Structure 1
């Protein structure tokens, strides 16, 4: 006779959802397996059975946080490829500020190469479109431009999340982005 599953996908989803809520509200230090299990009316055995332990739960948290962050980066291309870069950068910042603790999960965890790739891929794609549209200088290296824009955006966001920007700087973010992209613009014919 087949034994019924005690720890099913519904419980896995509930544990992950509660873990995400806890981390979103209070950061990673607030995540306790015992507290999580109690919130979900189960035992820590369920976490081990469904995730293989805390490390597996953290991997699932990273995957979901990365999925949510990528959703913010799903900016549809428009008619102005330089403006598209600015819009993508604004979306990056919005995603980080909307769920700062999940942003930290994405960029402070072990699989940082994956997070970096997820952040850089859309930037590379948009810079490449700008190159193909002759919107940027012909000597501009797309990989360097994408990295420079990511460093600008990510650095700004990290400073903002830690409260290290000078007063009023939050309102100058778009101006800073437009300054960077204006330096890349192709000369007018």
Structure 2
């Protein structure tokens, strides 16, 4: 990660962007508040002022991730297949966020803003699945929504971890095309 220096802009956003970048390239264990402060060219106490500790930083990053994910899922419209592809697209375009969003062990799990952001993103994903089966009983809808989330999250994780590289299952070579084809095989009845 190249040092860019911080010049009287939005330090909070600068630190979050640097953390997302570092997580995407080096993993979450490589992140430290001191390292991010050094990267931004500010005192080592400056990030702590905004985030408190590393868990606070990662919680803020997860909140930002869930908010972005909710917006992308909502923009995809009501068709579950498009919502599913938007989920995969987000995971691949925002790996630094995606890698911490579901890691409760790294976050302040009781943070109300985190809960609200997580709920909004979940509702956007669930609404796409619910559109596919409007007449189903709530219990059946919940099972289908869980299956749909598991499917797209699992696919995104497999792609991100390189498990589909050189796989005969990866005919398209394009994660969105492959996800779209996979989702097209799912029946919601």
**TM-score, length basis structure 2:** 0.72
RMSD of aligned Cα (Å): 2.9
In the alignment, the residues of structure 2 paired with residue 18 and residue 179 of structure 1 have an alpha-carbon distance, to the nearest angstrom, of 39
Q: Confirm or deny that 1:158 pairs with 2:157.
A: yes
> Quick one: which of 123, 126, 129 aligns to 1:127?
129
- Answer whether contact 1:96 1:103 (CA < 8 A) is retained: yes
- Answer whether contact 1:20 1:61 (CA < 8 A) is retained: yes
- Answer whether contact 2:133 2:188 (CA < 8 A) is retained: no
In the alignment, the residues of structure 1 paired with residue 80 and residue 184 of structure 2 have an alpha-carbon distance, to the nearest angstrom, of 9
In the alignment, the residues of structure 2 paired with residue 71 and residue 96 of structure 1 have an alpha-carbon distance, to the nearest angstrom, of 13
- Answer whether contact 2:76 2:86 (CA < 8 A) is retained: no
2:75 aligned counterpart, secondary structure: coil
Q: What is the match of residue 4 of structure 1? A: none
In the alignment, the residues of structure 1 paired with residue 64 and residue 121 of structure 2 have an alpha-carbon distance, to the nearest angstrom, of 15
Q: What is the match of residue 20 of structure 1? A: 20
Q: Compute the displacement of 1:93 (Å).
A: 0.6
Q: What is the match of residue 101 of structure 2? A: 106
**TM-score, length basis structure 1:** 0.72
Which structure has the greater CA radius of gyration?
Answer: 1
Distance 1:128 1:109, change over 3 A: same
- Answer whether contact 1:119 1:150 (CA < 8 A) is retained: no
Q: Confirm or deny that 1:60 pairs with 2:60.
A: yes
- The count of residues paired between Structure 1 and Structure 2 equals 167
Runs (5+) with no aligned partner, structure 2: 1-7, 173-177
- Answer whether contact 2:37 2:44 (CA < 8 A) is retained: yes
Distance 1:120 1:58, change over 3 A: closer
In the alignment, the residues of structure 1 paired with residue 76 and residue 152 of structure 2 have an alpha-carbon distance, to the nearest angstrom, of 19
- Answer whether contact 1:69 1:103 (CA < 8 A) is retained: no
